[in-house]
Amino acid sequence: MARKVETEAVGCGTITKRGDWWHFRWTDESGQRHREALKVTTKDAARTKARELAGAIENHNWMPRGDRKRLRFVDVAEEYVKHVRQTAERTGGVEFTLSTAKGYRHQLHLLKGEAEDRRTKGAKLPAAPFVNAYIGSVTPKQIEEWLNVRQDRDGVGLATRNRNLAFVKSVYGWAVKTKGITNNPAARVKVVAREHLDPRRRQTKALTVEELERLLDVLRARGGTPYDVSLAAADTGLRRGSLQALRWEHMDWRDRLLRLPTSKGKKALEITLTDRLYEHLKAMYERARTKTVNGTVLLTASVDALPLFPHRHDATRPFDNVTKGLSESGKLAGIGHVHLHQLRHTYCTHHAAAGTPAFVLKEMMGHNQLSTTEKYYHDDRASRRQATATLEARRQAAVSSGIEAAQ
């Protein structure tokens, strides 16, 4: 009696169970038959992996097993980083941002052993042990051991560990879709939760209202791009990548809004401008679109496609960095070192202290989860006293109005 074989059609082929394992079978356009081991034992998992593999085959991204055996992890990672950068440039940051592309390039240098150890100022950090291995042979244990070494040897915090893991996961996710890789070891390595409680994490301090105004006064007196960028960061809470992505075409002058089509969280942002930021941007726009020749003001061509905050040497590129100017201004203001992302924390803290509802603030910050927004709020004794005083004032007002109504 013939043995019954369990099969099911999925995409361009069928899944078949042989022994304990499921396989995917299909016939290509030339009539040649192929079989891939899915390396799973349940039908649901086999369906999921078969759909991914079928998609790669139909998009002509599948690679024969013999060719895949020569694929090193580093080669796929380099190709993926190049793909991210080109996609960011082509789509204007809709699918990937230029900031993401830059961060992935740094992660690649780290994996290849080309990143500098900041503690020794010059020495290179060792490469990941699996970087030159065949991408399909890497195990979850190897990835996890490397992440543990990063924590123990290099002293990195949980947030950095999770960023390293996120990059490896992204490389494997892309390899599954484009190279026909069925083994994804990174999927079985867990992200460490509650990274904000890590004692090694450098805690970001939100500036008080008085500190922020002192800082902006110093930046205004010094002028230049650091003031333009810092004012926008303080009054919108945008990340550096979003500030770099801003173009004049994103300005809605009539409604006093900034409409950013995408952000790090893949969300479109609509930001209401404060009066001071609106007036400052309006003055910047007039300077950008006009040119003075021999005392005569001439209108230039449209500047809508140009960045709001251009590079000092090339008006078609966004600013590169304002770290030095911002840090020096912070020290002159008597605050100490200040970095740009600190202004995002300050923005969230000030709005929360002013009574902005949490779910509204989540959308203003561009977060997908409310728990992320909570990490940006830094309360202190003064803010708690202010909250108590505000609540007490409202209670007194309600009591007074009740007494007047009764009389």
Summarised one tens digit per residue, pLDDT across range 266-280 is 778 898 999 999 999
Contact criterion met (CB below 8 Å) for 349 and 378 = yes
| Domain boundaries, given as residue ranges, for the chain | 7-62, 73-197, 209-376, 380-407
The stretches in the chain having pLDDT less than 70 are 1-5, 63-69, 92-94, 119-122, 194-203, 292-301, 380-391, 402-407
pLDDT attached to residue 265: 73
Question: Given this model, what pLDDT does residue 171 score?
Answer: 94
Find out whether 330 and 322 touch, Cβ atoms under 8 Å. no
* Phi/psi at 252 (5° precision): -110, 95
Q: Cβ distance 213 to 329 under 8 Å?
A: no
* Distant-in-sequence, close-in-space partners of 348: CB < 8 Å, separation ≥ 6: 206, 237, 361, 365, 373, 376, 377
List Cβ<8 Å contacts ≥24 apart for 92-95: 92/245, 92/261, 93/241, 93/245, 93/261, 93/262, 94/261, 94/262, 95/262
Q: Which pLDDT score is estimated for 390?
A: 65
pLDDT at 330: 93
Cross-strand partners of 124: 116
- Average pLDDT of the residues of the chain: 84
**CATH 1.10.443.10 at 209-376, yes or no:** yes
Phi and psi angles of residue 40, each rounded to the nearest 5 degrees, phi first? -135, 160
Contacts of 205 (CB under 8 A, 6+ apart): 342, 345, 378
Question: In this predicted structure, what is the pLDDT of residue 128?
Answer: 92
Report residue 28 as tokens. 């290509």
What is the C-alpha to C-alpha distance for residues 167 and 105, in angstroms, rounded to an integer?
10
Which residues are within 8 A (CB) of 70 and not within 5 positions of it... i.e. 6 or more apart? 134
Paired tokens of 268 = 């479109």
At 254, list the tokens. Answer: 């009539």
Question: pTM value?
Answer: 0.63
Pairing of strands 21-27, 257-260: unpaired
**Dihedral of the CA atoms 196, 198, 200, 201 (nearest 10)?**
0
CB 108 within 8 A of CB 78: yes
SS3 154: helix
21 three-class SS: strand
| Percent helix / strand / coil, the chain, rounded to 5 | 50, 10, 35
Residue 201: the pLDDT is: 59
Helix residue spans in 180-252 (DSSP H): 209-222, 225-236, 240-245
Both structure tokens of 173: 């996710």
Q: Which CATH number fits domain 73-197: 1.10.150, 1.10.860, 3.40.1130, 1.10.760?
A: 1.10.150
Q: Which long-range contacts (CB under 8 A, 24 or more apart) does 266-273 make?
A: 267/366, 267/368, 269/238, 269/242, 269/366, 271/236, 271/238, 271/364, 273/235, 273/236
Per-residue pLDDT of 277-286, as tens digits, reads: 999 999 999 8
Q: What is the predicted pLDDT for the residue at 62? A: 72
Predicted local distance difference test score (pLDDT) of residue 1: 44
